[in-house]
Each structure stands twice: as C-alpha cells, then as structure tokens.
Amino acid sequence: MSAATQSLRLGVGARVSAVLMKLAGWRLVFVPPPAPKSVIIVYPHTSNWDFVLGLLARSVAGIRCHFAAKDTLFRGVFGRWLARVGGIPVNRREATGFVAQLVQEFARRGEFHVVFTPEGTRGRAAHWKSGFYRLALAAHVPLGLGFIDYARREAGIGGWIDLAGDEESDLARIRAFYAGKRGRRPDLAGPIRFPAQERAP
C-alpha cells in the first residue's frame, strides 16, 4: 500500500498522529493482531514520553485497545481523560483479582485488546510483573510484542506469539524479540524475568 493510499484510509486523528510521528522522526512498525482479542506488552518503559509515543502509534495503527495504569492516576480531569482514552485502573498495592476480572471481560466482549508495561514502573525494576502472562494464558489469547525503540526511533507491535505455558521457554522467546531494543534511558530497563513468588502455575 502506498503512503498516499494509506493516508486516505486514515481518519483525521490518525493522520494528525502520523504527521506528528514523522515530524518527530519516528516510524510505526505494526503487525496486525491475528485475533480479535489479545494481551499486548510494551517494553522497555523508561520515560514518560513512552506514553505519548504509544498513543500516537496506536492512533496511526488504528487498533482499539485498553491499557492498565496505576489507580492513583485516575483522579480529576486527567483521570477522566485517561479513562476516556482506554485506561483501566489497577491497584498494585494489593491483590484485587484484576486478572480474573479481565478474563471475564475477554469472555464478554467480541473484540478486546489490553496493553501492559510489564516492568510496572519507569524506574529500574528487578523483574517483570507476571499479570499479563497469567491473563494471556487464562484468556487463551495471543501475546503482542509492543516496543518503543529510541535507538531506531521505531514504535509499534513487531510480532505475536502464542504462549506455551512453559515460563522459561516463553520468556526466552520474549527476550529474543526485545534483544537490541533500547528505551530512552537504557539504564532503567529491567531484566526480562519473573520473581519466584509470581510465577504462573
């Protein structure tokens, strides 16, 4: 598809987002989801700018998706806007059955894509949170490998995998994909591993 044809097919918001990405020197990489429901992760996540770039990339790609964020962000005007653009509040301070609730959402909806930043923070984390992994297995949906690579100035979804349920082999495939992807602050990118207490059964 030519750039001109693609531009005609984009809505106004997507065209504006495409222009902004181009002016900033960024390129969208997008492999469409293989199913109407999925879990998507974005790594590495080391800067507030990741959120802005992620929204632009999502708009240009035209994929409708939700994203998990700290519940403390859903306050006031910003909180209402965050919910409007697809935010789902997550209480990370205690176990709240969030994965079980989302499994029900997957069963209820005909189309549903949920995005996670598995590090759970912009600061360096010692490990990934395994909620996205447990959710993808429980909902029987593919896992999208999203990224924002400041080295190549590329953002989007570069591939999809079906999780086998074997944590080590699945994480090995995920590590292979993200090898060489660099965040805005590479020193803050956490290792791709789960802590023993969060390992999926």
Name the domain count of the chain: 1
Q: Does 171 fall in a domain?
A: yes
Sheet of strand 66-70, all strands in order from the earlier edge strand to the far edge: 27-30, 154-161, 143-149, 37-42, 112-116, 66-70, 87-90
Which whole number is the average pLDDT over 141-151? 97
In this structure, what token pair is assigned to residue 145? Answer: 């490998």
26-54 tens-digit pLDDT: 999 999 999 999 999 999 999 989 989 99
* Global model pTM greater than 0.95: no
Q: Does 201 fall in a domain?
A: no
pLDDT of residue 151: 95
4-18 tens-digit pLDDT: 344 434 578 889 999
Q: Does 126 fall in a domain?
A: yes
Helix (H) or strand (E) holding 135: helix 131-139
If you average pLDDT over every residue of the chain, what do you get?
86
94-109 tens-digit pLDDT: 555 778 888 888 998 8
Confidence of residue 3 (pLDDT cuts 50, 70, 90): very low
Torsion, Cα 19 23 25 31, to 10 degrees, reads: 0
pLDDT of residue 25: 94
In this structure, what token pair is assigned to residue 115? Answer: 């995005």
Q: Does 200 fall in a domain?
A: no
**Higher-confidence residue: 180 or 93?**
180
Q: Does 18 fall in a domain?
A: yes
Which residue range forms the structural domain that includes residue 60? 3-195
